[in-house]
Amino acid sequence: MRRIVIGLLLLPSMVLAGALSPVDKAILDHYYLNKQTNSIPGAYIVDRSLPGIKLIEHTITGQELGQNSVSNYQVAVSALAANRIAGTAITWAEALGGMTQFLWGDFTGGNYLSISTNGFPSFAGSARNWTSIHISGFGMTVGASAPDLDTFGPSGNLLAYRFAGVTTIEQMFFSIELPHSWDTNTAIHPHVHWTPVNASTGHVDWALEYSWQSEGGTYVAPTTLLVTQATAAVAWNSQRSEFQAISGPGVICSIIVCRLYRPYNNIGDTYAFDAALIDFAVALQNDTLGSRLEDEK
């Protein structure tokens, strides 16, 4: 018999004849998980092979628990089944006993998907997901001391901006708006994807100068981050240089204004050849699929 894991509950799959839809069962499963009074930790095995639900045993202690342990659940199942058969609507408030959201997953450990009664989903703990914002070199702005747009890759048929390893500190400019899905309580992780243009050994320094502010705020003097990365001593080998994580205003739609450059004259930069830029990216964690309002989380 197949089992479905919901929270800490192991449930054999079944359908009450002519009564409960999958949504109804989900509501009642969540009702039980939030309302059951037995506090023994672990997973409970529930026999759902009959309309009368009975808790059989606790998976850690092996303790058999009687019918009374799930009386609230049984009453809710019976009431919902009877009303569905009679065509009477069951409201979320009735099914959930005043609860305002579903928590799917390890909610005792803080890792779960939450769905509010208005249908808005959000994620907590390890349920949050990672995404990246990518800025191609072709999407950046060049000014004074711009890197050369030159051949990229062994065929020479592609192009990339190549930051020189001698003579000039070359730079590019861009900005990033933080997305509506971003978890505003977390830091973001900026990094550069690039390649060396030959098999010589050495290190490449990248510098990121940035100022980050929300709408209505005042931009302040920029902060500069520096990262040093050894080449792989393989021409056109894809490299990732990770800057330290940064935190900002903690507001969606806030904007980071950036300058990316190669300080070739730094003592750490020992690769005397071009570094070809693939892109700049910011990795971040999301706790929603968007925002409830246009400019508020």
Q: Which residue has the higher pLDDT, 24 or 194?
A: 194
Mean pLDDT of the chain: 75
Please tell me the distance from the alpha carbon of residue 113 to that of residue 122, in angstroms, as a whole number.
6
Closest CA to 161 of 175, 172, 169, 173: 172
Q: What is the largest CA-CA distance in the chain?
A: 83
Please tell me the distance from the alpha carbon of residue 95 to that of residue 107, in angstroms, as a whole number.
19
Residue ranges of domains in the chain: 3-127, 129-286
Burial class (CB in 10 A: 0-12, 13-18, 19+), 249: middle
Asked if residue 278 lies in contact with residue 194, where contact means CB atoms within 8 angstroms, the answer is yes
**Residue 102: per-residue pLDDT:** 62
The predicted model gives 127-147 an average pLDDT of 94
**For residue 206, how far is the Cα from the chain centroid?**
26
Residue 195, CA distances (Å) to 9, 40, 154, 241 in order: 50, 56, 12, 10
Res 55 pLDDT > 70: no
The predicted model gives 5-21 an average pLDDT of 33
Over residues 152-162, the pLDDT tens digits come to 999 999 999 99
Res 8 pLDDT > 80: no
Continuous H helices in 146-207: none
**Residue 9: per-residue pLDDT:** 32
Strand ranges (DSSP E) for the chain?
3-6, 9-12, 44-47, 54-58, 101-106, 111-116, 121-124, 129-136, 141-142, 148-152, 158-163, 170-177, 189-196, 203-213, 223-230, 239-242, 255-262, 275-286
Res 61 pLDDT > 50: no
The predicted model gives 178-203 an average pLDDT of 97
The predicted model gives 115-138 an average pLDDT of 88
**Residue 110: per-residue pLDDT:** 79
The secondary structure of the chain in percent helix, strand, coil, rounded to multiples of 5, reads 15, 40, 45
Res 67 pLDDT > 50: no
Tokens of 219: 């931009």
Res 149 pLDDT > 60: yes
- Edge-to-edge strand order for the sheet containing 223-230? 141-142, 170-177, 255-262, 203-213, 223-230
The predicted model gives 52-66 an average pLDDT of 37
Domain 129-286 listed as CATH 3.40.50.1820: no
Res 57 pLDDT > 80: no
Q: What are phi and psi of 293, to 5 degrees?
A: -120, 170
Q: What is the pTM of this model?
A: 0.67
**Residue 103: per-residue pLDDT:** 66
Report the residue count for the chain.
297
Percent of the chain with pLDDT over 70: 64
Provide the pairing of β-strand 44-47 with 9-12. Answer: parallel
The predicted model gives 106-110 an average pLDDT of 72
**For residue 210, how far is the Cα from the chain centroid?**
23
Percent of the chain with pLDDT over 90: 51
The predicted model gives 174-201 an average pLDDT of 97
**Residue 135: per-residue pLDDT:** 97
Res 142 pLDDT > 80: yes
Q: What are phi and psi of 139, to 5 degrees?
A: -100, 0
The predicted model gives 278-285 an average pLDDT of 98
Please tell me the distance from the alpha carbon of residue 262 to that of residue 19, in angstroms, as a whole number.
67
Res 134 pLDDT > 90: yes
Tokens of 245: 């994580």
Q: Which residue has the higher pLDDT, 91 or 237?
A: 237
**Residue 114: per-residue pLDDT:** 81
The predicted model gives 195-203 an average pLDDT of 97
